[in-house]
Amino acid sequence: MRIQASPFTNTSRRIFFSVASRFEGYSDAEATEKKILRDVFVKGDAWMRTGDLMRRDAEGFYHFIDRVGDTFRWKGENVACAQVFEALRRVPGVSDALVYGVTVPGHEGRAGMAALSGEFDWAALSAALAALPRWARPVFLRLTDEISRTETLKPRRAVYVAQGFDPAASGDLVFIADGEGFRPLTPSAYEAVLSGALRV
């Protein structure tokens, strides 16, 4: 059986697709079947479901964005990382972004956080985020030179989640939501969030 798959190689952070490759499958037949979508475009076709969200640029290259289905819960609502990412990537000057949830003492679920790289206008960023539901807007922003990625260009999400919103853990500048904008998360403000003196 021939499966339309989507393997890629990394050259200068661009992803090249081959849509006529074979998906050999896993040793577990049931696990293999879960990855196959059938009769998608025409009767009898079969495609491998990678679970990855990709973006095609103006030159026709595909870029890995995020894992489909990555969500976190905040203020009793489910937040889709991809939705927040799409709002961030539309901000002029944002070259890369990663959206994830972080644990905040005294709160259920996870607060939204975004790691951003690039040179952007804060007013434009705030305006883009204002279009999102309030619970989906990042509580914390982390400014970094570059989003750390694996050899296959997937963001090292677990590393960012583990570092949380502690500026000392990341070594990057971290900001906290303040009304419709953001302000630097100073060491004293960080301690205030931990103690509950500063609510998020």
Query: How many residues can be counted in the chain?
Result: 200
Residue 185 C-alpha from the chain's centroid = 21
- Answer yes or no: is 60 within a domain: no
Q: Same structural domain for residues 19 and 94?
A: no
Number of separate domains in the chain: 2
β-pair partners for 97: 116
Residues 105 and 189 in one domain: yes
**Digitized pLDDT (tens) for each residue of the chain, 200 residues in all:** 333 344 333 333 444 444 445 677 778 888 788 888 889 889 988 888 776 767 788 888 877 665 555 889 999 899 999 999 999 999 999 999 999 999 999 998 999 999 999 999 999 999 999 999 999 999 999 999 999 998 888 899 999 999 999 999 999 999 999 988 899 999 999 999 999 999 89
Q: What is the DSSP string of 97-137?
A: EEEEEE--TT-SS-EEEEEEEE---HHHHHHHHHTS-GGGS
User: Does 43 share its domain with 79?
Assistant: no
Shared domain for 105 and 134, answered yes or no, is yes
Q: Please tell me the distance from the alpha carbon of residue 18 to that of residue 181, in angstroms, as a whole number.
A: 43
Q: What is the pLDDT of residue 56?
A: 82
Instruction: Mark whether 93 and 189 lie in a shared domain.
Output: yes
Q: What does DSSP say about strands 140-143 and 111-118: parallel, antiparallel, or unpaired?
A: parallel
Tell me if 13 is assigned to some domain: yes
* Together in a domain, 149 and 71: yes
Q: Are residues 148 and 101 in the same domain?
A: yes
Q: Please say whether the dihedral angle defined by the alpha carbons of residues 172, 80, 157 and 61, taken in this order, is positive or negative.
A: negative
What pLDDT does 65 receive? 63
Which CATH number belongs to the domain containing residue 113 in this structure? Answer: 3.30.300.30
**2: in domain:** no
20 and 102 share one domain: no
Residue numbers of the domain that contains 140: 66-195
Are 93 and 186 part of one and the same domain?
A: yes
For residues 170-179, one letter each, b for 16 or more C-beta atoms within 10 angstroms of the residue's C-beta and e for the rest, the string is: beeebbbbee
Angle ∠(69,72,76) on CA atoms, nearest 5: 125
Say yes or no: 21 and 85 in one domain. Answer: no
